[in-house]
C-alpha cells in the first residue's frame, strides 16, 4: 500500500542549500535553465503540466490565459521555487501522458487533478496532497436525486473510458442507464437539456464546470463521497529535492490562506463543500 513520509528539513540542511545556491550563482554554472529560476524576470523558464480543458481546475481561456485551482496552486508553487508568473510555460498534459511527460523531462512538475495511487507512485514521485476530492454526482438544482441509489432507472453520464459511472452502476445503482460522451462539456449539455439525470466524476471537476458563467445556479452537487481522490503534484521519479521544495510551498500556501482563496475563487459559485487542506503526506484511503 502506498504511503508518503513526512519530510524533515533541518536548519543545517537549509543553510547548506542556501550556500549551494549562492556558490552556483557566483560560479556562473551553465546548467539547464529549466532547473533554476531567477525569480526576477531574468529569462529562465519553468515548464508545468496542467489540464487545458477543465474549468475551475486547469483551463486555457480563449484569450490564451490560464485559470483554475490547479493553475493557482502551480503558480504559487512556482513563485516559491523562484519563478515569476511570466516565467511559467504551461504544457498540456492529458491523463494518459502524465507519467511519460515527467519521465521525458517535458515538464518540471504536473498539477492536473493527479490522484495519488500505488500504480502511479511506482512511476513518479508525488508532493502533497494539496486537495482531497471525492467522486460525486452533479444534478439539476431542483433534482430530487440525493443518493447514488436514486439513479436506478435514471440516465447517468460520464466520459468515455472513465470508471466513475461504472463504479456507480456496479456498487450503488445496477439499473442505471449509462450514457458516455467524449467529454464533460457534452455531458453538461446533456444534463442541461434533460437527456441525462446526473453526471459523475470528482466533485472538484463537477464544481468547476458548474461554476462556469453559463451554468451558474442551474446545478448542484449531491454531496456524496463515493471515493477519496488525493490530488498530488507529480515530479520525476527520484527528484526528492523538488518534492521537498514543493511540499514547503504547499504548506506556506495553506498557512497564509492563499489556498482558501483559490478554493473560493474557483469553486465558490457551485457551493462546493471542500475538505480542509490536507496534511502533507497524509493519503486518505
Render pLDDT for 199-243 as a digit per residue (tens, 0 to 9): 999 999 999 999 888 998 999 999 999 999 999 999 999 999 999
Above 90 in pLDDT, residue 268? Answer: no
Report how many domains make up the chain: 2
Mean pLDDT in residue range 125-139: 97
The answer as to whether 9 is a domain residue is no
Question: Looking at the structure, do residues 201 and 249 belong to the same domain, yes or no?
Answer: no
Average pLDDT on 93-98 reads 91
Give 168's pLDDT tier (boundaries 50, 70, 90): very high
Residue 215 lies in a domain: yes
CATH code for position 155: 3.40.190.10
**Statement to judge: residues 203 and 149 lie in one domain:** yes
Q: Are residues 113 and 151 in the same domain?
A: no
Q: Residue 81 belongs to what domain range?
A: 44-133+229-270
For residue 256, CA distances in Å to 249, 251, 260, 275 come to: 11, 9, 9, 17
Q: Are residues 67 and 77 in the same domain?
A: yes
Considering the domain architecture, whether residues 122 and 249 belong to the same structural domain is answered as yes
What are the pLDDT digits (tens) for 42-92? 459 999 999 999 999 999 999 999 999 999 999 999 999 999 999 999 999
Q: Which CA distances in Å does 8 have to 78, 98, 155, 233, 239?
A: 21, 28, 49, 19, 16
> Residue 161 pLDDT > 90, yes or no?
no
**Pairing of β 58-60 and β 53-54:** antiparallel
Same domain, 196 and 239: no
Question: Do 108 and 241 reside in the same domain of the chain?
Answer: yes
Q: 182 with 216, same domain?
A: yes
Residue 27 lies in a domain: no
DSSP class of 14: H
Instruction: Determine contact, residues 196/90, Cβ cutoff 8 Å.
Output: no
Q: What percent of the chain has pLDDT over 70?
A: 84
Cβ atoms of 110 and 243 within 8 Å: the answer is no
Domain boundary among 162, 186, 221: 221
Domain end marker among 221, 237, 255: 221
The Cα 136–Cα 184 span in angstroms is 14
The residue among 205, 221, 237 that closes a domain is: 221
**Does 118 score more than 70 pLDDT?**
yes
Mean predicted lDDT score pLDDT of the chain: 86
Whether 144 and 84 map to the same domain: the answer is no
Same domain, yes or no: 128 and 234: yes
Tell me, yes or no, whether 94 and 208 share the same domain.
no
In a domain? residue 243: yes
**Residue 277 placed within a domain:** no
In a domain, 36, yes or no: no
Whether residues 251 and 117 share a domain: the answer is yes
Q: What is the reported pLDDT for 105?
A: 97
Residue 273: per-residue pLDDT: 86
**Domain annotation covers residue 20:** no
Alpha helices in 67-211 (DSSP H): 69-81, 98-104, 118-121, 164-171, 184-193, 203-210
Q: Please check whether residue 279 lies inside any domain of the structure.
A: no
CB atoms within 10 A of CB 167: 16
Amino acid at each position: 500500500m502506498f504511503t508518503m513520509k513526512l519530510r524533515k528539513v533541518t536548519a543545517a540542511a537549509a543553510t547548506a542549500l542556501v550556500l549551494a545556491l549562492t556558490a552556483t550563482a557566483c560560479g556562473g554554472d551553465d546548467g539547464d535553465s529549466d532547473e533554476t529560476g531567477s525569480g526576477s524576470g531574468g529569462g529562465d523558464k519553468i515548464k508545468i503540466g496542467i489540464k487545458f480543458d477543465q474549468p475551475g481546475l486547469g483551463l486555457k481561456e480563449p484569450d490564451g490565459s490560464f485559470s483554475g485551482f490547479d493553475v493557482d496552486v502551480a503558480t504559487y508553487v512556482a513563485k516559491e521555487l523562484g519563478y515569476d508568473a511570466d516565467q511559467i510555460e504551461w504544457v498540456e498534459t492529458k491523463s494518459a501522458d502524465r507519467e511519460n511527460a515527467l519521465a521525458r523531462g517535458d515538464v518540471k512538475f504536473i498539477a492536473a487533478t493527479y490522484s495519488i495511487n500505488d500504480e502511479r507512485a511506482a512511476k513518479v514521485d508525488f508532493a502533497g496532497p494539496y486537495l482531497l476530492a471525492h467522486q460525486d454526482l452533479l444534478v439539476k438544482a431542483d433534482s430530487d436525486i440525493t443518493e447514488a441509489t436514486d439513479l436506478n432507472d435514471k440516465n447517468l453520464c460520464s466520459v468515455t473510458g472513465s470508471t466513475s459511472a461504472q463504479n456507480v452502476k456496479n456498487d450503488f445503482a445496477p439499473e442505471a442507464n449509462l450514457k458516455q460522451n467524449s467529454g464533460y462539456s457534452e455531458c453538461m449539455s446533456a444534463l442541461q437539456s434533460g437527456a441525462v439525470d446526473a453526471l459523475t466524476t470528482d466533485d472538484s471537476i463537477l464544481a468547476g464546470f458548474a461554476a462556469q458563467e453559463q451554468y451558474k445556479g442551474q446545478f448542484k452537487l449531491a454531496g456524496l463521497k463515493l471515493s477519496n481522490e488525493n490530488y498530488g503534484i507529480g515530479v520525476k521519479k527520484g527528484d526528492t529535492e523538488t518534492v521537498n521544495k514543493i511540499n514547503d510551498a504547499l504548506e506556506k500556501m495553506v498557512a497564509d490562506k492563499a489556498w482558501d482563496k483559490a478554493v473560493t475563487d474557483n469553486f465558490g459559485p457551485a457551493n462546493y463543500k471542500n475538505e480542509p487542506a490536507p496534511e502533507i503526506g497524509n493519503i486518505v484511503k
